[in-house]
Amino acid sequence: MALSLHSLTFPFFHSYEGRNAISVPLTLTSDSARHVDLIANVDTGSTFCILSREIADHLRLSLFTGTRQRIRTAVGSFQTFGHEITISAFDLEWHAMVYFAESESISVNVVGRFGFMDRLRVAVVDYDQRLYLGFYGQE
C-alpha cells in the first residue's frame, strides 16, 4: 500500500469547542446596508444555506419577493424564499443566494453547499473542533 501525504494551508481557522455542531461566525449584509451577526452551523449535507425568518426581518428583506424554494428534509418539508446577500466570515466576503424560512417556527441557521461550501476551501478537524477556511488559491 502506497502512502501519499497531502498538505493544505488555510488563512483562517475557527474553534467551535464546546458547541454541539460545527459552527462558524458570520456577518450577513443586505442591499439596504443592514447587517446581522450570527453563528451558523455548517451542514455538508444541506444543499442550500437556510436561515430563520427572523434574520430576513432584521435585514429588512421583503421575504415573499424572493425566489421560492421548497426544502425537503428527512422529517418533512418547509417553504423558503431566496435572496442574494453578502456573507462575511473573518476577512472573507462573498455574495450568495441564501434561503429564509417562511415559517417563524423554523429556527435553523445553517450554511450548506451552495453559497458557502462552493465558495470556499473548507476543512474540518472534528477531533480538535476546528474549522479551517480560505478562498481558492488563497494561502
Give per-residue pLDDT as tens, 75-130. Answer: 899 999 999 999 999 999 999 999 999 999 999 999 999 999 999 999 999 999 99
Is residue 45 assigned to a domain?
A: yes
Number of domains in the chain: 1
How many whole angstroms separate alpha carbon 80 and alpha carbon 123?
A: 28
> What is the span of the domain harbouring residue 64?
23-134
Is residue 139 assigned to a domain?
A: no
Residue 74 has pLDDT above 90, yes or no: no
Residue 53 has pLDDT above 80, yes or no: yes
- Which residues, 6 or more positions from 77, have their beta carbon under 8 angstroms from its beta carbon? 70, 71
Strand partners, 123: 132
Residue 37's pLDDT band, with cuts at 50, 70 and 90, is: very high
The grid coordinates of residue 13 equal 481557522
Residue 52's CATH number: 2.40.70.10
Task: State the pLDDT at residue 6.
Answer: 86
Q: What mean pLDDT is reported for the chain?
A: 94
The grid coordinates of residue 101 equal 424560512
Flag whether the pTM goes above 0.75: yes
Is residue 117 assigned to a domain?
A: yes
Element (H, E) at 55: helix 53-58
Element (H, E) at 58: helix 53-58
Is residue 2 assigned to a domain?
A: no
Is residue 33 assigned to a domain?
A: yes
Contact (CB, 8 A) for 116 and 26: no
